[in-house]
Amino acid sequence: MTSWTPAEVDPDVPSAARIYDYLLGGSHNFGPDRELADKLLAVQPNVADIARRNRAFLRRAVLFMAAAGIRQFLDLGSGIPTAGNVHEIAQQAAPGSRVVYVDYEGIAVAHSELLLAGNENAAVVQRDVTRPDEVLAADGTRRLIDFSRPVGLLAVTIGHYLPPATDPVGVFARYRDAVAPGSHLALSHLTDDFAGLHGDAIVETMRSTQNNVFPRTRARVLELFGDFALVAPGLVTTSGWRPDDSTAAAVDPEEDGLYAGVAVKT
């Protein structure tokens, strides 16, 4: 344990937040997280590329929303701060943009609090995203998000951590219902629709962590958007969503392993 470890964090059981941090080159992780990440690399050798392309999709989705006039963001399952955090991207594009991060993992929350100290336009709330009413009623959410104005909902690599028993379709519907017309929803989601993604092995490897994973088919992922209208190019994979000059595109889009899309509430 280190001085930055909150008391409720169990460093012996790997967490998705800390595994992802390690795969992205971060230092807020423990030995068991790194060992688990190495097991993931053994079953899915391009998993760090999958993580980087996902992070780049997040950046482009936030910039797309900012260009569409979105000035407030609710980032569900925001993770441990790393290069290119949502408030940095959004506030650089449009100063004064407001961002609420939501995560239930103690290290992610502790580091977000440190990073956001003194930023009155950004906050982190430690909540379980499968309890939307608690997330929407949290002090930080109510202080920073005006639900009469469009919101940028970010659900980037969070859906596949939600077990079927939590009713992910209903959870997403609750967030969609809470926001005003003009709001956007960006999401990315693990799928085993593609031969190059070893879904069964990933599911098995993640079973010993705090976060089981549930890859979903294209049809199941589309359900999470409800009646929001997908913007072009629709539901694709991460590196294929509106690539820009900095996009390290996958040679074969299926190597991305994650469906990705952005949709608008009409």
Binding residues for ligand SAM, per CB under 6 A? 15-17, 20, 54-55, 58, 77-79, 103-105, 108, 128-130, 156-158, 161, 211
Cα–Cα dist 18/28, whole Å: 6
Pick 161 or 228: Cβ nearer ligand SAM: 161
Let me know how many helices (H) and strands (E) the chain has, helices first.
10, 8
Q: How far is the CB of 211 from ligand SAM (least distance, A)?
A: 5
Angle at 32 between CA 31 and CA 35, to 5 degrees: 85
Angle at 171 between CA 133 and CA 152, to 5 degrees: 80
CB 155 within 8 A of CB 116: no
CB 239 within 8 A of CB 251: no
Q: How far is the CB of 68 from ligand SAM (least distance, A)?
A: 20
Q: How far is the CB of 220 from ligand SAM (least distance, A)?
A: 17
Q: Which residue, chain included where needed, has tokens 């977000």?
A: 112
Pick 16 or 264: Cβ nearer ligand SAM: 16
Pick 174 or 227: Cβ nearer ligand SAM: 174
Please list the residues that pair with 261 across neighbouring strands. 187
Cα–Cα dist 41/47, whole Å: 6
Pick 22 or 228: Cβ nearer ligand SAM: 22
Cα–Cα dist 212/14, whole Å: 11
Cα–Cα dist 55/85, whole Å: 9
Q: How far is the CB of 223 from ligand SAM (least distance, A)?
A: 18
Q: How far is the CB of 266 from ligand SAM (least distance, A)?
A: 25
Q: How far is the CB of 148 from ligand SAM (least distance, A)?
A: 25
Pick 66 or 258: Cβ nearer ligand SAM: 258
